[in-house]
Structure 1
Amino acid sequence: MEWRGAGILLNVRRHGESSAIIEVFTPERGKHAGVVRGGTSRKIAPSLQPGAQLDLAWRARLEDHIGSFSVEPLRSRAALVMNNRLALAGLNAVTGLLSFCLPERAPYPALYQRTEQLLDLLGQDDVWPLAYLRWEVALLDEMGFGLDLTSCAATGATQGLIYVSPKSGRAVSAEGAGDWADRLLPLPPVLRGEGGGPDAEVAEALRTTGYFLEDRLAPAMGTRPLPEARARFVAAFSRRV
């Protein structure tokens, strides 16, 4: 069995004396792992940095085997995060969340395209947090925990939507919230795709998406907690706000 294609490197771990096991995200084969022979060598290791775009050739005797990768670098993103704490934290959040929640070998071509576009914006700190927020919303949707922010869950109204129900993931208006307002999550305009996305609104929206990542998505993954990389990015961004 074999295939060839491009992919984004999610993580690397040492395997044996000189090899490495890498996990990549590909448009057609989803999250996929394999062994890179000599992956810790001076020749190959510099190319195996999380976020790197790789040309991959995978081979295995049987399809369900872990198999081995031959890799060639297509695009390194290391320079985009060098000496930039926010960019590095953002990169780690993206790769960490994908490694955490994607099922093995299930294709998510639309999410892959969004991820590639997001990573190409690394280092552009004026636009990256908003792009990241939109990526998180897309990730929740792809994983089956999408938010419905089109109308109020209580009244059906399409105006005055300022909350999100933590139970249903639906928008709620001020009128519909009633005495439950203090139990609802914030719905800033940026979360509905409105406005220019000022940092304060993005930070507030990340509080809402973070709830669904931690309290809905993570439990669906079993007993594993959400990767700490996401919290570190939010903390780095909040310091800027």
Structure 2
Amino acid sequence: MEWIDEGIIVSSRHHGESSSVICLFTKEHGRHAGLVRGARNKNNSGIYQLGNGVTARWRARLTEHLGIFNCEMTDARAARLIEDNLRLEGLLSICSLIEIALPERHPYPELYSRTISFLDDFEDSASWIQNLIMWELKLLADLGFGLDLSVCALTGEKENLAYVSPRTGRAVTFAAGEPYREKLLSLPKFTIDQSSEGKISTKGDISAGLKLTEWFISRHLLSVRKTKMPAARNRLAKRWKNKI
């Protein structure tokens, strides 16, 4: 068995003295693991950093085997972000969420395309962190846990939406939700306002967005796997909180 595909390195773990088992999020084969011989050799170590783009050749005798990867780097994202701790945590967070949340060897072409588009703008976009939050919301939707932020769950109104029910994932207007505000999650404006795309949101809205997606990712994607929020995602939220 053999195939060639493009992908993003989302995890790597040591195997033996110099090899690694890496996992890629690929365009046509989804999240796929394989052994890379000599991955930790001096000449190769820069290739197999989380977030880097590669062209990969996978070979195995049988489909169900782990198989062997041979990779050529196409995008050294990790190295370019080494001086930007906040963005680097964002990149590592996305890799970790893909590694934890996606079933192995199941293609998600739209999610892959969306992830590549996001990463292409990642380094230069001033609104990258709100774009990351939108990526997380769409990840939830792709896996069957989309939030309904279009209309109030209590009144049917489409205006003045301000909260989200942590139980149902549905939006609530300010007036309907105010008496229960302590039990509700805040709804950031940029998640429902199409005109805000590409604009820089308030720091409070970003904090609310990080909390919103963290809640539903933990509930729907992590709890069933009995795992915790990735450390990189926690560091991202903490660094953002300290920044403001």
Q: Same fold (TM over 0.5)?
A: yes
Length, aligned pairs only: 240
Counterparts of 1:43-192 in structure 2, within 5 Å, are 43-124=43-124, 126-177=126-177, 179-192=179-192
Counterparts of 1:5-24 in structure 2, within 5 Å, are 5-24=5-24
Per the TM alignment, residue 92 of structure 1 is displaced from its structure 2 partner at its CA by: 1.1
Deviates further, 162-171 or 113-122? 113-122
Per the TM alignment, residue 125 of structure 1 is displaced from its structure 2 partner at its CA by: 6.1
8 A Cα contact 1:137 1:209, kept in partner: yes
Deviates further, 148-157 or 111-120? 111-120
8 A Cα contact 1:84 1:123, kept in partner: no
Which residue identity does 1:239 align to in structure 2?
A: N
Flag the 1:236–1:123 CA change in 2: closer, same or farther, 3 A.
farther
* Residue number in structure 2 paired with 1:216: 220
Identity across matched positions, percent: 38
* Offset from partner CA, 1:35-65 (integer Å, 9 cap, x none): 0111111222211111111010001111011
Structure 2 counterpart SS, 1:65? coil
8 A Cα contact 2:93 2:232, kept in partner: yes
8 A Cα contact 1:80 1:122, kept in partner: no
Which residue identity does 2:211 align to in structure 1?
A: R
Q: Distance in 1 between matches of 2:78 and 2:18?
A: 22
Q: Distance in 2 between matches of 1:36 and 1:193?
A: 44
Query: Which of the numbers 182, 200, 225 marks the counterpart of 2:204?
Result: 200
Q: Distance in 2 between matches of 1:180 and 1:128?
A: 31
Per the TM alignment, residue 238 of structure 1 is displaced from its structure 2 partner at its CA by: 2.2
Structure 2 counterpart SS, 1:5? strand
Flag the 1:148–1:167 CA change in 2: closer, same or farther, 3 A.
same
Which residue identity does 2:53 align to in structure 1?
A: Q
Per the TM alignment, residue 216 of structure 1 is displaced from its structure 2 partner at its CA by: 2.5
* Offset from partner CA, 1:114-136 (integer Å, 9 cap, x none): 21122223333622112111111
Q: Distance in 2 between matches of 1:16 and 1:178?
A: 57
8 A Cα contact 1:57 1:70, kept in partner: yes
Which residue identity does 2:104 align to in structure 1?
A: E
8 A Cα contact 1:80 1:87, kept in partner: no
Structure 2 counterpart SS, 1:121? helix
Does 2:239 align with 1:236?
A: yes
Per the TM alignment, residue 199 of structure 1 is displaced from its structure 2 partner at its CA by: 2.8
Q: What runs of 5+ residues in structure 2 fail to find an aligned partner?
A: none
TM-score by length of 1: 0.94
Give the CA RMSD over aligned residues.
1.5
* Offset from partner CA, 1:54-111 (integer Å, 9 cap, x none): 0100011110110001111111113321211111111111111111111101111111
Per the TM alignment, residue 206 of structure 1 is displaced from its structure 2 partner at its CA by: 1.4
TM-score by length of 2: 0.93
Structure 1 counterpart SS, 2:121? coil
Which residue identity does 1:193 align to in structure 2?
A: D
* Residue number in structure 1 paired with 2:27: 27
Deviates further, 22-31 or 176-185? 176-185
8 A Cα contact 1:148 1:170, kept in partner: yes
